[in-house]
Amino acid sequence: MKNNVPKFKNLKKNWPNKLGKKPWKKKNDIRPILTLLVICLILASLVPYISESQQFTDNDIWLNVLEKNFSEGKYKEILIDGNKAIATVTGSWVTVNGITKIERDITIIPANDSLSDLGLKNPEIETNILVKDKTSEQFWGEMLPTILAFILFVWIAFVLLSRMWGMANNAMTFGKSRAKLFDQSKDKILFKDVAGADEEKEELSEVVDFLKNPKKYKAIGAKIPRGTLLVGPPGTGKTMLARAVAGESNVPFLSISGSEFVEMFVWVGASRVRDLFTNAKKIAPAIIFIDEIDAIGKKRGPGTGGWHDEREQTLNQILTEMDWFDNDTNVIVIGATNRADVLDRALLRPGRFDRKITVNLPNQPDREEILKIHARDKKVSKDIDFKALASSTIGFSWADLWNIMNEAAIITARYNEKEISTPRIQQAFERIVMGLQKKSLVMNEEERKITAYHEVGHALLGKLLPNSDPVHKISITPRGGALWVTWFMPEKDAILTSKAKFLDELSVLYGWRAAEEVFFGKEFITTWASNDIERATSIARNMVMRYGMFDEIGQENFAGERGMWNHLGAEWERAIISEETQKNIDLQVQKTLKEAYNKAITLIKKHKKLHTQISEDLLEKEEIDREEFDTYFEGMKLA
């Protein structure tokens, strides 16, 4: 069946990248020219004053002195210029540093006094009295500051108006949708480009089939789900899956973030929702993708006023728009969030977001395929073992795996190498997990020794205890936020954690404090084990209070909070624990931690010689990897 989808070439002419906005046409900016013109005019106005100050030595005198000197015939001429009287001394030349200058006297004439009032009109005194006319030179001298001020005002007004016009344009788009339209001719993504997530792609394939063949579903009376919600941790590829649905369906893909709906202005969010759905219906069949939908879809409560009301109005508008969908409205809404627990129930009911698809972290085969996809556009060595790399990246998301390959490419380029090799990928992996090496941070020999025995304490216990993860690397080189590290790496994906594994992990965490006590004595224990003790205490309390792993306490959850619903929304109250129960919990936690610590002490004392050997080698090498660490235990029967 032919899919009646508008061509993107024609669509883009009437549908710019930012929906509801026209591309801004950049015009020639004359502000730099005006600025330069103002500067030139200011400099030009200063030239006469600068030249005059270089030609004359002017003396300021009182008016009565001017009248006295005039009556004594000391002046050759007097020039009346505005409210100034400039008198040139007869036959007086002054030579300064080889430069001869005319000596002049200058005084201020009162505004209403005439030449007669000043006594300057005396025919017996041979002094030339000149009154300066309003010549062109005088005009520009007087008017130039006014003209410059006017030009400066025009320039400032032009700048302010241009900015206000830009703000006005933005204000006109407050109610317009900010969704980005992806051009499928350039940015097309298919399911094959999203490795793993087979179950998720299978569920989304129904949406693809509906968009391709809507008449098949309409003929039998079936209605495709109006909304699909993708839920999963950050970086698991929810956006990629949504784009793959659009790519497989060959329909327009409108993407927007939930935070872009809400502004400080009232009703803006609801207006943008209406505009988004209106535009989507015009180019249907289409997909609307709302990322981080929890920004506007949180549970509604009794709060009123301000942004809270605006967010609720935006959510109500989304619910209304989805209710108006009929079987002929070929628009699918896909939302993505990693906080599905905070979404309003009205958003999740049938008829709105009918489908909820959980996008989990990839397993080992999926991680291998994802790494290969990320390596497509990079020059990689043929001997890279993607399977081994996938097995060492347990818990990594799609984005994390991309980051590893990208960091490896950056490191390879830094060393001017032509291909990404396995050592560069390993270097990128360690940089992301443990951080960069801090070569500038230097410890003294005593601190290095304590650190080495500490880390070997963790590693040794991890090797001896059967339920601990394998040791990947031991390092006393400062990295990132840690000054040292013992890196344990699980060999396979695990969903559940047993009580035995928790207990072994507690002993491993006490490896530092146990090593300090055995090798340096109780009086020399340090503060460096604080983080290990904090983590161990947290694990023990969860075992006792949350997981119900001890019969002495019982199979009841004494941790966290209990949720209660009423007509106002969600209310929460803490679990009620009696004093006797709390005392028993504390005693069980203390008993569990003490047993784990005693086990650590016993094992380190039993293998004290081996502990010392590994620690001394670590002091010399600073890093020991898994292969080298395992050689210390060859032929040894482990506990």
Digit-coded pLDDT (tens) for 2-48: 444 444 444 444 444 444 444 334 445 565 666 666 666 666 655 55
Residue 385: phi and psi, rounded to 5, are: -95, 90
Span 410-429, mean pLDDT?
Answer: 90
Of 172-186, 260-274, 579-593, the range with the highest mean pLDDT is: 579-593
pLDDT tens for 480-510 read 555 577 888 887 777 788 999 999 999 999 9
pLDDT value at 592 more than 80: yes
When the candidates are 3.30.390.50, 3.30.2310.20, 3.30.720.210, 3.40.50.720, the CATH number that belongs to 33-143 is: 3.30.720.210
- 553 neighbors 584 (Cβ within 8 angstroms): yes
Edge-first strand order for the sheet with 75-81 is: 56-60, 99-108, 84-96, 75-81, 128-131
At 353, which helix (H) or strand (E)? strand 353-358
Span 116-143, mean pLDDT?
Answer: 68
The set of residues, in sequence order, having a beta carbon less than 8 Å from that of 132 and lying 6+ positions away, is 79, 80, 81, 82, 138
Q: What's residue 24's pLDDT? A: 38
Residue that the structure tokens 């004595």 belong to: 521
* % pLDDT > 90, the chain: 15
Helix, strand, coil distribution of the chain in percent, nearest 5 = 50, 15, 35
- Tell me the whole-structure pTM to 2 decimals: 0.61
Distance, in Å, from the CA atom of 600 to the CA atom of 515, rounded to the nearest integer, reads: 9
Q: What's residue 226's pLDDT? A: 80
Span 589-602, mean pLDDT?
Answer: 94
pLDDT tens for 200-222 read 888 888 888 888 888 888 788 77
Q: Which of 433, 427, 430 is nearest to 411 (CA)?
A: 427
The residues spanned by each domain of the chain are 33-143, 177-358, 364-434, 445-631
Q: Which amino acid is at 366?
A: D
Of 28-37, 122-131, 176-185, 626-635, the range with the highest mean pLDDT is: 626-635
- Which is the catalytic residue, given 260, 321, 430, 455? 455
Higher pLDDT, 494 or 453: 453
pLDDT value at 335 more than 70: yes
Higher pLDDT, 1 or 476: 476
Distance, in Å, from the CA atom of 120 to the CA atom of 70, rounded to the nearest integer, reads: 7
Is 455 an annotated catalytic residue?
Answer: yes
Please state whether 179 falls in left (phi above 0), alpha (psi between -120 and 50) or beta.
beta
Q: Are strands 353-358 and 331-337 parallel, antiparallel or unpaired?
A: unpaired
Q: What's residue 566's pLDDT? A: 40
SS (H, E, C) 569-605: EEEEEECCCCHHHHHHHHHHHHHHHHHHHHHHHHHHH
Higher pLDDT, 37 or 297: 297
CATH of domain 364-434: 1.10.8.60
Helices assigned H by DSSP within 304-397: 307-323, 345-348, 364-374, 386-391
Q: How confident is the model at residue 327 (pLDDT cuts 50, 70, 90)?
A: low
Looking at domain 445-631, its CATH architecture is: Up-down Bundle (1.20)
pLDDT value at 355 more than 70: yes
Residue 528: phi and psi, rounded to 5, are: -70, -10
pLDDT value at 271 more than 50: yes
The set of residues, in sequence order, having a beta carbon less than 8 Å from that of 539 and lying 6+ positions away, is 502, 505, 506, 509
Q: Which residues pair with 181 in a beta bridge?
A: 254
Q: What's residue 622's pLDDT? A: 85
pLDDT value at 443 more than 80: no
Higher pLDDT, 339 or 168: 339
177-358 carries CATH number 3.40.50.300: yes
User: For residue 479, how many C-alpha atoms fall within 13 Å in the half-sphere facing its CB?
Assistant: 20
User: For residue 145, how many C-alpha atoms fall within 13 Å in the half-sphere facing its CB?
Assistant: 4
Q: What's residue 179's pLDDT? A: 66
- 516 neighbors 525 (Cβ within 8 angstroms): yes
Query: Own/partner pairs for 379-383, CB < 8 Å, 24+ apart?
Result: 379/418, 379/419, 379/420, 380/419, 380/420, 381/419, 381/420, 381/421, 381/422, 383/422
Q: In this structure, what is the dihedral angle of CA atoms 469, 470, 475, 478, given to the nearest 10 degrees?
A: -30
Helices assigned H by DSSP within 377-492: 386-391, 398-414, 422-434, 445-464
Name which of 97-111, 337-351, 574-588, 611-625 the model is least confident about.
97-111
pLDDT value at 310 more than 80: no
Q: Which of 610, 607, 561, 556 is nearest to 582 (CA)?
A: 556
Name which of 30-39, 339-348, 441-450, 574-583 the model is least confident about.
30-39
Q: How confident is the model at residue 285 (pLDDT cuts 50, 70, 90)?
A: confident
Q: What is the DSSP secondary structure assignment for residue 362, as one 8-state letter?
A: P
Q: What's residue 312's pLDDT? A: 78
Higher pLDDT, 286 or 59: 286
Q: How confident is the model at residue 413 (pLDDT cuts 50, 70, 90)?
A: very high
Span 537-545, mean pLDDT?
Answer: 93
Q: What's residue 569's pLDDT? A: 41
Q: What's residue 98's pLDDT? A: 60
* % pLDDT > 70, the chain: 74
Residue 400: phi and psi, rounded to 5, are: -65, -40
Q: What's residue 317's pLDDT? A: 82
- 547 neighbors 498 (Cβ within 8 angstroms): no
Residue that the structure tokens 């129904």 belong to: 206
